Amino acid sequence: MLKKYDYKSLDKSGIQQLVARNTDPKNAIQEVVQDIIQQVRLQGDTVLREYAVKFDKVELDKLFLDEDDIDALASTIHRDQQRALEIAFQNIHKFHSTQVKRERTVETMPGVKCWREIRPIEKVGLYIPGGSAVLPSTLLMLGVPARIAGCKEIVVCSPPQSNGKINGFVAYCLKLLKINRIYLVGGAQAVAAMGFGTQTIPRVDKIFGPGNQFVTKAKSIIQGLTNVSIDMPAGPSEVLVIADNSANPAYIAADLLAQAEHGIDSQAVLVSTSNTMIDAVNSELEIQLAVLPRRELAAKAIENSYAIQVGGLEEAIQFSNEYAPEHLILETDQWESITRQIINAGSVFLGHLTPESAGDYASGTNHTLPTSGYARSYSGVSVDSFVKKITFQHINEIGLEQIGSTVEILAELEGLHAHKNAISIRKKTL
């Protein structure tokens, strides 16, 4: 069950130890991933097939499924399942469509106009983790904003199932997104393939998608080796729940287990104003774990998680901001009074009836979020993630007269006389 700590007894060092996660002190993961990336760079498709045998236990005749394959697999799922995916697609699309906004032109001084225009990133790569449990929701979360942004080429990679295919749910999402090819590659090797390109898989400009520590490490290495960028360092999933005496311990346990069942490296943290509530949640965890199909995974994740008793909601928010959770749930009647104090979080779920799983699937917000404390500096995926914003400026005769001497003085101050001359030579023609 959850280990318990008293916030008042923790010094700064103790808090830092608690908020640290997913470290690789011996660089073991980095060494493995660097080797995979190098092999993919040198051998391309050949080593991708070898990795499919090694990691996915499947021999592949080809490294992709085309439109006919996708159509056939999509037709295997029931209509109620199709409808659920359609509703999720619609809600995600509705929310993300509001993010497309044209900025106004600003006249910074008479005759000097500046503005920004949006352009889509041309080639994006979407990594969808899974294999036998591949996540169709992640495909929607990445594919919908990519489509809204107008990306010309969307490359999707996902580990193959044991039959060398994908499941029908992912196939149906591909149809909703009008994507007619998916590449059967997983793990760090998929990131490397999209970063460098192979005989079959195109090189992209930006790589998106969550994954385990190997995928996360591969994304950071690829970004350092190439001019391919990444969305964020999104690693193992995590949740932090803030609860007071108004909370329902059964709800809290369910929310903690919803993250714990992702894998043993997931983390579920409870911060409560009540020791009694922490004990009640631990009791509920035992009850709910007993009937979970993925109870062994979830139980190990819970063993690596903890609960902290705090003196009040203000202390709870203070610790949460230090932790910077991927998902933050406020299970308190007082949530409206504390939301403005939240500084670091990927996505926030307010009140007793807003479980994190709603955001994972269908409320409309994006579930590809910063983990491991990166919520201090990263946002979740949005339409903005798939576009570039280019600045423009235009200066007319009046503007050149207005701004000219300022630029000349500043250029001379910095010793850049050619910069100064670019203004001066124009002023002579006015």
Catalytic residues: 326-327
Q: What is the SS3 string spanning 337-393? A: HHHHHCCCCCEEEECCCCCHHHHHHCCCCCCCCCCCCHHHCCCCCCHHHHEEEEEEE
The number of helix segments (H) and strand segments (E) in the chain equals 17, 15
Task: Locate 171 and state its tokens.
Answer: 């196939």
Nearest to 345 by CA among 325, 367, 364, 370: 325
How far is Cα 404 from Cα 424, in angstroms, rounded to an integer?
8
Contact call for residues 381 and 208 (beta carbons, < 8 A) = yes
Nearest to 21 by CA among 300, 372, 304, 289: 372
Q: What is the SS3 string spanning 199-224? A: CCCCCCCEEECCCCHHHHHHHHHHHH
DSSP 68-125: HHHHHHHTTS-HHHHHHHHHHHHHHHHHHHTT--PPPPEEEETTEEEEEEEEE-SEEE
Helices marked H in 213-307 — which ranges? 213-225, 249-260, 275-289, 295-303
Q: Pairing between strand 306-309 and 327-331?
A: unpaired
Contact call for residues 156 and 191 (beta carbons, < 8 A) = no
How far is Cα 379 from Cα 369, in angstroms, rounded to an integer?
7
* Residue 70: half-sphere exposure toward Cβ, Cα within 13 Å: 20
Nearest to 18 by CA among 29, 28, 33, 3: 3
